[in-house]
Amino acid sequence: MITLPPLKEMERAYKQRDASYDGLFFLAVRTTGVFCRPSCPARKPLSSNVEYYSSPREAVFAGYRPCKRCRPMETNGEPPQWVGVLLSTIEKNPSARYPDAYLRSISVDPARARRFFLKNYGMTFQAYCRARRLGRSFEQIRLGADLDDVALGYGYNSHSGFRDAFAKTFGAAPGKSRGTDCIVTAWVESPFGPLLAAAMSEGICLLEFTDRRRLDHQFSRLRKYFRCSIVPGENSHIVQLKSELAEYFAGKRKRFSVKLFYPGTPFEETVWNVLLTIRYGSTVTYEDIAKSIGSPGASRAVGRANGFNRISIVIPCHRVINKNGELGGYGGGLWRKKMLLELEKGNS
């Protein structure tokens, strides 16, 4: 369960239009029936008329509609400015340590950083830093770097400390890790909200909107199939994916060429392979897919497999609708499914 900031902190944030809280919570106004970002420029409501939610989905399910001024459903996917600074700093020097004292020195509340990273990355800021250090060291070891150089170069004062931390994260001592793999994850910006991408050396294995229902379940399935650790980072597949997604959202790409890796049950893989054949700008029904795989009575099973697809947009499960023409379910939210389909139809 996502923990919201303290009530007084949220009240202060929206009254001061503090954009650094955008994405950490959303406020809904009982008297108007709308919900907003904390930074919304509209007139601020009385505290007694405000309810707080951790995601747009929760606010919508509670009966509120998005504000037309701050458009909380149409985020550009960019993290708050202070988070962007932290991420950039870590990437420039992943071997460094960034204690609470450092955060305070750049006017970032350690508690706020912890909450944001827990909400968006599933780990605290300090855990992110540790995982990023180890992720970089893992890459170097796989490329044949000397273990002593890696241990000392990534901020560990002793070889034993490095080996213990490495083994705890990756399940094997550094010397036994050559030829093994891990899952690297990265934030991807989009006009429909931030996405979380994950990849192994074989290709992209996950792409989901960060507020997707049961995102934690998708990660559990990744661990089950791949039996390796998940750490923040980037590889060539994620770099390519970011480029192709930018072209897709700009209406300049209709087919993805980035390499994918999506093991599942035989039935799931069959359904996912069919999804990849659905043409840009078109839709099919669950019944159509069931018939195409020789199982005309398996539309419900097709729906379940569709829902278990871990690589949204690229494996286009959003192009599957109900036989009555209604959109049906979508893990990223029906509003996103509608917008993705409108994007494609407008450029087909």
Q: Lowest mean pLDDT: which of 62-71, 141-150, 263-272? A: 141-150
Q: Minimum mean pLDDT among 32-41, 237-246, 301-310, 330-339: which range?
A: 330-339
Which range has the worst mean pLDDT, 28-32, 131-135, 183-187, 237-241? 131-135
DSSP letter for each residue of 87-107: HHHHHH-TTS---HHHHHHTT
Distance in Å from the first CA to the final CA of the chain = 40
Residues forming the active site: 317
For the domain 7-66, what is the CATH code? 3.40.10.10
d(CA 277, CA 6): 48
* Beta bridge partners of residue 285, listed in sequence order: 321
Alpha carbon separation from 325 to 16, 319, 321 (Å, rounded): 45, 11, 6
Hey, do 7-66 and 186-348 end up sharing a CATH topology, with the first three levels equal? Answer: no
Mean pLDDT of 115-123: 74
Percentage of the chain beyond pLDDT 70 is 76
- Tell me if 102 sits within 8 A of 56, measured CB to CB: no
Q: Give the list of residues 6+ apart from residue 224 with CB closer than 8 angstroms, or none.
A: none
Spell out the residues 6+ positions from residue 5 whose beta carbon is closer than 8 angstroms to its own: 13, 21, 24, 25, 112, 115
- Cβ(281)–Cβ(345) under 8 Å? yes
Which pLDDT does position 314 carry in this prediction?
97
What residue segments make up the domains of the chain, in order of their start? 7-66, 81-176, 186-348
Quote the pLDDT of residue 165. Answer: 57
Higher pLDDT, 59 or 251: 251
Write the CATH number of the domain with boundaries 186-348. Answer: 1.10.10.10
- Does 182 score more than 70 pLDDT? yes
Two tokens, residue 279: 């043409």
CA distances from 218 to 83, 184, 213, 280, 316 (A): 25, 15, 10, 25, 17
Which option is the CATH number for 81-176: 3.10.20.30, 1.10.10.60, 3.40.718.10, 3.40.109.10? 1.10.10.60
Which structure tokens are listed for 79? 């993290």
For 313-323, the pLDDT digits (tens) are: 999 999 999 88
Name the residue with tokens 């998940």.
Answer: 230
Element containing residue 195 per DSSP (H, E): strand 195-200
Q: CB neighbours (10 Å) of residue 346?
A: 9
Q: Reduced to 3 states, what is the DSSP secondary structure of residue 238? A: helix
Q: What is the DSSP letter of 267?
A: H
Mean pLDDT of 42-62: 80
Are 209 and 195 in contact by the 8 Å Cβ rule? The answer is: yes
Mean pLDDT rounded to a whole number for the chain: 81
The predicted pLDDT at position 23 comes to: 80
Question: How far is the C-alpha of 20 from the C-alpha of 14, rounded, in Å?
Answer: 10
d(CA 275, CA 264): 14
- Cross-strand partners of 52: 27
Maximum mean pLDDT: which of 26-40, 61-75, 181-195, 282-296? 282-296
pLDDT at 1: 44
What confidence score (pLDDT) does residue 177 get? 46
